Amino acid sequence: MLNWLANMKSPMLPWEVIERIVSHCDDSQTLRSFTLSCRQLYPRSFCFLVARIDLMSRDDVFAFCEHIQANPHLGPLVQELTIDLADFAPFPLLYILPNLSQITFISRGGHYAPFSHRMHQSIFACCQRFGTGIRTLRLTRMNSWTFQNLSRILLAFKNLRVLVIEDVHKFVEMGGNTGHTQAIVQRLSQQLRLQSLAVTDEWLGDTREVALLLESAQSSLERLSLGVPYSEKESYVAHLLISTQPTISTWTPLRFLTLKTRLNSKDIAGIIEILNGFHPPNLKHVTLDMKLDAIGKLIQWMGGAGRQSRQCHQTEQALLQFPHPEITFSIKNPIRSYRIGFWNHELGIRLPILRERGKLSVISQSDKTPGHDAWVQCLVYSPDNKRVATGSNDNTIILWDKEGQISRQWVAHAGNIRSLAFSPDSQYLASAGEDELAIWNPSRSAHEVAKLDGHIGSVNSCAWSPDGTVLASGGSSGEVRVWDARTFQLLHVLVDPHHSHNVWFVCFSPDGRWLASGGWHDNCCLWDVVVGKLHKVLRDVEPFRTPAFNPESTCLAVASHLRMVGIWSVQTGESLFEFELEQHTMGVSDVAFSLDGKLVLSASYDMTVKIWDASSGVLVSSLEGHTGRVNAARFSPCGSYVASASQDGTVRLWKMSDGSCASIFTEHKDFVQYVAFSPDGDTLSSGAADGTVLVRRWREFLA
């Protein structure tokens, strides 16, 4: 708004409106620029600019004091002061700033000395004399505080009404002098008249020191905001709040309560305990603020796809005991702006009453780029070329059309989506998640057709046979399961000691007879699908990603993080040849055969893609230009191009004719994990670590 006003030659709004905008501005740099272009507002803007002072060092303190003494008319304009506790000199700061009402004590540059070493008794005396105007005190990034020293500074500002404690490194463990501690609590209870208290750190909010502070302030607090975890030891705050129920009159002023917590079962259990046991007579407004890094963890706690967990129901019922309940979900990672409505709907399924009352909200920075709200774990095309399916750590599956628009999206699992596979007729989509293997009908509003139970632990991978008759899945227990794709009944459980770790991939040969399985730090196993038995073991290859069968199903190319690229005979299980190790200086992340089977590519952490002759193992060309490791690469169906995805945030398109780079796609802002051509070769899709997914008609970008 200010930028718009600044660019106007003649403001069309009344000056009163513009002044109101200036009053609410929190961007000092923009305000300074605006002031220079609108001289009429200079006095008002200048007052705003000097209302909040941040002193970065002791030299700044001295320079600031000298400036105020030389310009005494500026002193009354300062209302808020931020200063390092080590640099704080109450006289003359408090003396020359008569209208100062808020102080923020912050520790900068690694100042982590104990609080008792910072302030002499004379400083407290000075604060008592000259700090009568201080109403708000913020303590941030402090360290090694004791309850005694915290009490001294609270008592120094005798008219203090608002206290905020945030990002405090720790409280020093209290000693055993209980009588002395109780004397401090009694003195605080008599003199402290806090109306608002906020302790923002979850782990700090359950300490004994905070409980004592609450005990001291309970007779005057009107607003209380706490980050409260559930402690396996004694829960000091929960014990204080619940145990004061018989004498609840001491909490009579309290009207607003906000409880903040990280999203895990133990923390929520503690919150529910407080909500069920703490009911001051005038407490009307109760807000539960759930903090988490990614939206997927929230859905996991809430019961997964379309379900409500028992603890979720208990949370809602506990909040509904109060006249004005509210629950907010503060997501650290940005959420796609067009998916806010989607997430509100999904959360509303699990918290229906709060949704109906309009008391459920998601708070996050918004991102307008298309995609998921967390890491893209898998990307596959449907064989009929009509759809692209992506799965993510946000627990959702998104179906995209060929124009790159979302056609459907849904919460599929209670955990990360690990793998996706379309049936050969494109009628079904299999998804492997941390909880189960699921089958979906994407043509019928993503209707769930079946859940295939039996894996112990998470399901990491899935694949459909080329003829569509069987489905394979690999799990964290090291076993592979083969299912009848028509009845979804279990056919075989493939277990072998050579799979001692997670089975991260399963892959059918083009003729459907063989199934390859394996994972990091493991061997690669070849199974005979018809008889359901182990055929061969490729030892010590430690494949990084899914290996690749040649079109004739006679050879298997395997990439290893041990810098090896090898081609193995499917029939004998013997190594036909290993490509020259010196060609890749770091681990190999991906391999793929060309459509005619004559060439093999290998993508590597050394930032290159190598093209090899599949029959001789001779290096044909090296595609160089990425500035980060290459995570995936694929031949185009026509065989004339190669697409590669890199941790440098780009997708590159290479010409096979001369190895030159034909185009660079830079839309992603994070590591690009997957790249794939549509079966008909019309589109090229990619997915990145920041959740973005892009479907592009790549020929339009050719130079």
DSSP H/E element including 377: strand 376-381
Residues facing residue 343 across a β-bridge = none
Residue ranges of the alpha helices (H) in 485-634?
Answer: none
Q: Within a domain: residue 40?
A: yes
Q: Which amino acid is at 107?
A: S
pLDDT given at position 16: 64
Q: Which residue has the tokens 């903040």?
A: 260
Do 20 and 71 fall within a single domain? no
- Which tokens go with 46? 């200048």
Q: Which residue has the tokens 């893609």?
A: 609
Q: Within a domain: residue 625?
A: no
408 φ/ψ angles, rounded to the nearest 5 degrees: -155, 155
Number of domains in the chain: 2
* CA separation, residue 293 to residues 91, 264, 548 (Å): 43, 12, 35
Query: Which residues, 6 or more positions from 654, have their beta carbon under 8 angstroms from its beta carbon?
Result: 609, 623, 641, 642, 643, 644, 660, 661, 662
d(CA 431, CA 507): 15
Report which of 263, 323, 270, 254 is spatially closest to residue 292, judged by C-alpha positions: 263
Q: Within a domain: residue 163?
A: yes
Give the domain-ending residue among 143, 172, 201.
172
Q: Within a domain: residue 634?
A: no
Do 38 and 121 fall within a single domain? no
Percent of the chain's residues with pLDDT above 90: 42
d(CA 686, CA 694): 6
- Which tokens go with 277? 């046991």
Do 10 and 103 fall within a single domain? no
Do 81 and 161 fall within a single domain? yes
CATH code of 72's domain: 3.80.10
d(CA 349, CA 352): 5
> How many whole angstroms from its chain centre is CA 214?
32
Measured at the CA of 203, the angle between CA 220 and CA 56, to 5 degrees, comes to: 80
Structural domain including 13 reads 1-49
Report which of 598, 587, 595, 527 is spatially closest to residue 562, judged by C-alpha positions: 587
Do 3 and 95 fall within a single domain? no
Do 1 and 24 fall within a single domain? yes
Residues facing residue 220 across a β-bridge = none
pLDDT given at position 9: 46
Q: Within a domain: residue 701?
A: no
Do 13 and 61 fall within a single domain? no
d(CA 231, CA 482): 44
d(CA 311, CA 117): 46
Give the pLDDT confidence of 561-590 residue by residue, as tens digits.
666 778 889 999 888 877 655 578 788 889
Q: What sign does the CA torsion over 74, 75, 80, 82 have?
A: positive
DSSP SS3 for 665: strand
Give the domain-ending residue among 172, 200, 217.
172
Do 74 and 160 fall within a single domain? yes
Report which of 470, 523, 473, 519 is spatially closest to residue 497, judged by C-alpha positions: 523
Do 131 and 95 fall within a single domain? yes
Q: Are 664 and 652 in contact (CB under 8 A)?
A: yes
Do 14 and 101 fall within a single domain? no
- Which tokens go with 466? 């080329």
Q: Which residue has the tokens 């190319």?
A: 557
Mean pLDDT along residues 367-389: 92
DSSP state letter for 101: -
Report which of 298, 331, 311, 332 is spatially closest to residue 411, judged by C-alpha positions: 298
pTM of the model: 0.76
Q: Within a domain: residue 3?
A: yes
**Is the pLDDT higher at 21 or at 297?**
297
Give the domain-ending residue among 172, 190, 220.
172
Q: Which amino acid is at 466?
A: P
pLDDT value at 592 more than 50: yes
Query: Which residues, 6 or more positions from 532, have their beta carbon under 8 angstroms from its beta carbon?
Result: 482, 491, 492, 494
Q: 329 burial class (0-12, 13-18, 19+ CB within 10 angstroms)?
A: buried
Q: β-strands 429-433, 437-441: how paired?
A: antiparallel
Give the pLDDT confidence of 462-521 residue by residue, as tens digits.
999 999 999 999 988 888 999 999 999 999 999 877 666 788 899 999 999 999 998 766
pLDDT given at position 666: 93
Q: Within a domain: residue 95?
A: yes
* DSSP symbols for 11-47: --S-HHHHHHHHHT---HHHHHHHHHH-GGGHHHHHH
* CA separation, residue 43 to residues 4, 47, 67 (Å): 20, 6, 18
Q: Which amino acid is at 563?
A: R
> Which pLDDT band, with edges at 50, 70 and 90, does 5 fall under?
very low
- Which tokens go with 577? 């040849």
DSSP SS3 for 145: strand
> Which pLDDT band, with edges at 50, 70 and 90, does 633 fall under?
very high
Q: Within a domain: residue 642?
A: no
Measured at the CA of 26, the angle between CA 21 and CA 28, to 5 degrees, comes to: 105
432 φ/ψ angles, rounded to the nearest 5 degrees: -105, 125
Do 101 and 129 fall within a single domain? yes
Q: Which amino acid is at 631?
A: N
Q: Are 120 and 91 in contact (CB under 8 A)?
A: no
> How many whole angstroms from its chain centre is CA 398?
19
pLDDT value at 6 more than 60: no
- Weakest-pLDDT range from 102-116, 141-155, 359-373: 102-116
Q: Which residue has the tokens 């209980």?
A: 178
Do 108 and 42 fall within a single domain? no
Mean pLDDT along residues 232-252: 68
Q: β-strands 672-677, 684-688: how paired?
A: antiparallel
pLDDT given at position 4: 43
d(CA 93, CA 69): 11
